[in-house]
């Protein structure tokens, strides 16, 4: 997968490595619930530099909405099982100077 090197969410420029470092501040990597390995990589960036990963909203009529919630993914390097995180806490952590 070829991704751009950075993406900007809520005005904060992010690299995939930022999400990896952020998750390390929260504790040790959990075992993958599918295969049991503990090797994960994170995806914040998308193939296009001016885009980011997100969940789209849906309106009450069931049609695609106009809003989105930025997310990042933590992917098991062995089996591809994916954990999904709302990006707001990551952007706040980077914006606050990456407190330990
Ligand atoms: Zn796995």
CA of 79 to the centre of ligand 1 (A): 4
Q: Are 17 and 90 in contact (CB under 8 A)?
A: no
CA of 29 to the centre of ligand 1 (A): 12
Model pLDDT, residue 2: 55
Average the pLDDT over 40-52 and give the result. Answer: 88
Higher pLDDT, 8 or 2: 8
CA of 83 to the centre of ligand 1 (A): 10
Q: What is the DSSP string of 4-68?
A: -S-EEETTEEE-HHHHHHHHHHH-SPPPPTTT----EEEE-B-SSTT-B-EEEEE-TTSSEEEEE
Model confidence at 46, pLDDT cuts 50, 70, 90, reads confident
For all residues of the chain together, what is the average pLDDT?
Answer: 92
Residue range 56-96, pLDDT digits in tens: 999 889 898 889 999 999 999 999 999 999 999 999 999 99
In sequence order, the 6+-apart residues with CB closer than 8 A to the CB of 88 are 10, 70
CA of 53 to the centre of ligand 1 (A): 21
Average the pLDDT over 33-47 and give the result. Answer: 94
């Amino acid at each position: 997968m070829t991704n751009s090197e950075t993406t900007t969410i809520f005005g904060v420029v992010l690299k995939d490595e930022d999400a990896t470092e952020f998750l390390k501040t929260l504790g040790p990597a959990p075992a993958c619930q599918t295969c049991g390995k503990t090797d994960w990589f994170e995806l914040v960036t998308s193939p296009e530099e001016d885009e980011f990963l997100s969940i789209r909203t849906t309106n009450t009529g069931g049609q695609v909405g106009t809003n989105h919630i930025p997310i990042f993914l933590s992917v098991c390097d062995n089996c591809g099982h994916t954990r999904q995180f709302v990006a707001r806490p990551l952007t706040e952590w980077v914006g606050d100077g990456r407190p330990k």
